[in-house]
Amino acid sequence: MPLYYEDFQAGQQWELGQYQLSEESIIKFARKFDPQYFHIDPVKAKDSIYGGLVASNWQTMAIYMKLIVEGLISRSVSLGSPGIDEIRFFEPVRPGDTLQVRYMVTECRTSNSRPTVGIVHFKGEVYNQAQEPVASVAGTGFFGRKPPEDI
Amino acid sequence: MPLYYEDFQAGQQWELGQYQLSEESIIKFARKFDPQYFHIDPVKAKDSIYGGLVASNWQTMAIYMKLIVEGLISRSVSLGSPGIDEIRFFEPVRPGDTLQVRYMVTECRTSNSRPTVGIVHFKGEVYNQAQEPVASVAGTGFFGRKPPEDI
């Protein structure tokens, strides 16, 4: 049975996945999407404000999505997202770091305009193996409502 | 001469780059980071709310970053970003779409705590070849201030 809107409630919390980044994967992603020198050149990166190679924030966000899709969304009747309300970046992500996500439901409400859709507000926290927060994401997801016969 | 904080001012606007997505690139990105069926399976995607394969929103964001880095940030003294204040998703991105970015400076101010850093608030709009908006991003970037002898 997949997770419907009715299966979410404010206060729920999940600890999702683990994803380790290699230097190679950081460079590969950044060459394609974020070719700043502190993401693609380990030697020059030593002279940057980060003191070494760091991952593109957008790679951190893509990994955040991967962990949420694998751990939660793939088991749900997800109907997409209208957007993100806030992203904050804290500690940089470095080669060898292992990321996890804490996903919390902050508010649930039904859609006024679409009776088959439920709206879930959430906050996701990405943290590393030292339990340091590296990013937080607040946003909104749409989920299908449970068919009446199943309630 | 790179762009320093002093080279940015509210109201400036840039049209940045072009990036065409193939079906293959959509599937490849999504298999790695966002393996929902409407991002990775062109046949099943026909039965989704999108009526066909669509790109992961996070791929759209990664492409947004690429166009900004190549068109603007690589020419500037960029000192990273504390975060994003809002992302909104409008039209889905489909195979063959070509994306562009309109990047607008909304506010500039100097840092109180770090005299060598300037803070630039911006809004980026991602749109497709039909001039339809597909996403918008409001956020903040840090830029180095021009050394006194150069002002």
Q: List pLDDT tens digits, range A57-97.
A: 999 999 999 999 999 999 999 988 999 999 999 999 999 99
Q: What is the pLDDT of residue A133?
A: 98
- Would you call A3 an interface residue with chain B, using a CB distance cutoff of 8 Å? no
**Is residue A81 less than 8 Å (CB to CB) from chain B?**
yes
Q: Is the pLDDT assigned to residue B139 strictly greater than 90?
A: yes
**Long-range CB contacts for residues A33-40, cutoff 8 Å, separation at least 24:** A33/A58, A33/A59, A33/B62, A33/B63, A33/B65, A33/B66, A34/A58, A34/A59, A34/B62, A34/B65, A34/B66, A34/B69, A35/B66, A35/B69, A35/B70, A35/B74, A36/B69, A36/B73, A36/B74, A36/B78
Which domains are seen in chain B, by residue range? 5-150 (3.10.129.10)
Note whether B134 and B92 are within 8 A (CB): yes
B61–A66 CB contact, under 8 Å: no
Rounded-to-5 percentages of helix, strand, coil across chain A: 30, 35, 35
The answer on pLDDT for A30 being more than 70 is yes
Average pLDDT for A8-32: 97
Place of tokens 């339809």: B132
Residues 6+ positions from A114 with CB-CB distance below 8 Å: none
Burial class of residue B104, CB neighbours in 10 A (0-12, 13-18, 19+): middle
Q: Closest by alpha carbon to B83, among B134, B137, B149, B146?
A: B137
Check B32 against A88: CB less than 8 A apart.
Answer: no
Q: Which residues of B touch A57 (CB under 8 A)?
A: 81
- CA distance to A18, A79, B23, B43, per residue, from A120 (Å): 24, 11, 30, 28
Answer whether B140 touches A (CB < 8 Å): no
Res. A36: pLDDT tops 90: yes
Closest by CA position to B9, among listed B109, B139, B137: B109
Distance, CA of A77 to CA of A4 (rounded, Å): 6
User: B115 CB contacts (<8 Å, ≥6 apart)?
Assistant: B145
Q: Report the distance separating Cα B128 and Cα B59, nearest Å.
A: 14
Residue B122 and residue B141 in contact, taking contact as beta carbons nearer than 8 Å: yes
Using CA atoms, how far apart are residues B85 and A138, in angstroms rounded to an integer?
10
In this model, does residue B8 exceed pLDDT 70? yes
Residue A21: predicted pLDDT: 98
Look at strands A98-110 and B13-20 and give their pairing: unpaired
> Which residue do the tokens 């957008």 mark?
A58
From chain B, the residues in CB contact with A61 under 8 A are: 58, 61
Name chain A contacts of B89, Cβ cutoff 8 Å: 80-83
- Whether residue A151 is predicted with pLDDT greater than 60 in this model: the reply is no
- Residue A52 to chain B, least CA–CA distance (Å): 14
pLDDT at A147: 85
Q: Look at residue A68 in the predicted model and tell me its pLDDT.
A: 96
Measured in angstroms, the CA of B85 and the nearest CA of chain A are apart by: 5
Residue contact B32–A62, C-beta within 8 A: yes
Shortest CA distance from B19: residue in chain A: A33
* Pick from A49, A61, A139: CB nearest B80: A49
What whole-number distance in Å separates Cα of residue A98 and Cα of residue A128?
6
- For B10-66, write each residue's pLDDT tens digit: 999 999 999 999 999 999 999 999 999 999 999 999 999 899 999 999 999 999 999
pLDDT of residue A149: 73
- What is the structure's pLDDT at B150? 59
Look at B82 and A89 and tell me if their CB atoms are within 8 Å.
yes
pLDDT at A6 over 80: yes
B117 part of contact set with chain A, CB < 8 Å: no
As a whole-number percent, the residues of chain A with pLDDT over 70 amount to: 99
Q: Is A105 in the B-facing interface, judged by CB distances under 8 Å?
A: no
Q: What is the pLDDT of residues B69-91, one digit of tens each?
A: 999 999 999 988 999 999 999 99
Bridge partners (DSSP) of residue B125 are: B102, B136
How far apart are the C-alpha atoms of B111 and A20, rounded to whole Å? 34
Interface mutation vs chain B, best among A58, A64, A74, most B CBs within 10 Å? A58
**Residue A46, φ and ψ in degrees, nearest 5:** -60, -30
Q: Which two tokens stand for residue B127?
A: 């749109």
ipTM score: 0.92
**Position with higher pLDDT, B44 vs A147:** B44
Q: Which residue in A69, A73, A114, A136 has the most chain B C-beta atoms within 10 A of its own C-beta, making it the best mutation to test that interface?
A: A69
